[in-house]
Amino acid sequence: MEVLGDPGFTAETFLKTEGPHRKFVHIKPGGVFFAQGTESTYVFYLLAGRAKLTVVSKGGKEATITLLTPGDFIGEEAIVGVGGLRMATASAISACTATRIGRDEMLRVLHHEHAFSDHFVKFLLTRGMRTQADLVDQLFNSSEKRLARTLLLMAEFGKPGEPETLIPAITQEALAEMIGTTRSRVSFFMNRFRRLGFIDYNGRIRVHKSLLNVVLHDSFTGHDSQRPAMTLPLVKTAPKSKSKPAA
């Protein structure tokens, strides 16, 4: 019986080193890994930094559909078929480093290395659960709880190890876009979070574990007078600098 795979192969080494058909790429804040509507030829593995996936409607409105942290794959739809188009734009919130893997190489290692395919399937299941949680968040939670959850996700609460309580530099406009509300609402909630000791910020936001109370308990029922939208929120696209995609 033919034995597939390299006995010395590890998924971590493959993803965190350069080699045939894979290389490191560095994306500046605001830069793009790939743009919506472009050909899907690479998969990225985020090594450092924070990124996001956004979609733009035909009317030019933009919505953030998920946040990305180290350990996430980006653009995994590339392995589905040749000539497919990107359904979203992946862009860097902070300076990012990622491993760019060619589609054929990604398929090869999935087929031949069981350790890698197990790692990738685990990621897909986790991504699916997170997407479901994001949808529930948009459908049923107030904008205040959505903001609290977004801050906790950016601080990596819930991941193994200690959370990075000092989150990447981000504007209130960007936070408003992510949760589907206005900048004034975000400013109002941020000031209240700070007064209650849930966060500190002076240029950079530091998240405290006590912010979990906002997500786990309806601590502020009645303060957010706006009913959450029953569809994914769309907000106008901010002007973007011209940045060459990594793929």
Domain residues of the chain, as ranges? 11-134, 142-227
% of the chain beyond a pLDDT of 90: 45
Q: Tell me, what's the pLDDT at 57?
A: 86
pLDDT-derived band at 219 (thresholds 50, 70, 90) equals: low
Residue 227 has pLDDT above 60, yes or no: no
**Residue with the larger pLDDT of the pair 177 and 99:** 99
Confidence check: pLDDT of 95 > 80 = yes
Q: If you average pLDDT over every residue of the chain, what do you get?
A: 82
- How much of the chain is in helix, strand and coil states, percent to nearest 5? 35, 20, 45
Q: How far apart are CA 72 and CA 60, in angstroms?
A: 27
pLDDT at 81 over 70: yes
**Span 80-108, mean pLDDT?**
92
Higher pLDDT, 68 or 236: 68
The better pLDDT of the pair 91, 61 is held by 91
d(C-alpha 214, C-alpha 207), whole Å: 12
Q: What's the gap between Cα 22 and its chain centre?
A: 21
Out of 3.50.50.60, 3.40.50.720, 3.40.50.1260, 2.60.120.10, select the CATH number for domain 11-134.
Answer: 2.60.120.10
Q: State residue 144 phi and psi, 5-degree precision.
A: -65, -45
- CA distances 22 to 17, 104, 107, 125, Å, are 8, 11, 13, 24
Q: In this predicted structure, what is the pLDDT of residue 201? A: 85
Q: Please give the average per-residue pLDDT across 82-101, as a whole number.
A: 92
Rounded CA-CA distance 126/124 in Å is 5
DSSP 45: E
Which has more confidence, 229 or 181? Answer: 181
More confident: 245 or 121: 121
pLDDT in tens, 131-176: 877 777 777 778 888 899 888 888 877 666 666 678 887 888 888 8
DSSP 8-state assignment for residue 211: G
Task: Say which CATH class 142-227 falls into.
Answer: mainly alpha
Each residue's pLDDT tens digit, 4-61: 667 789 999 999 999 999 999 999 999 999 999 999 999 999 999 999 999 998 888 8
Residue 114: pLDDT band by 50, 70, 90 thresholds? very high
> Rounded CA gap, 134 and 159, in Å?
16
pLDDT digits 0-9 by tens, 174-218: 888 888 889 999 999 999 999 999 999 877 899 988 888 777 665
What's the pLDDT score for residue 115?
92
**Contacting residues for 79 by C-beta, under 8 A, at least 6 apart:** 43, 103, 106, 107, 110
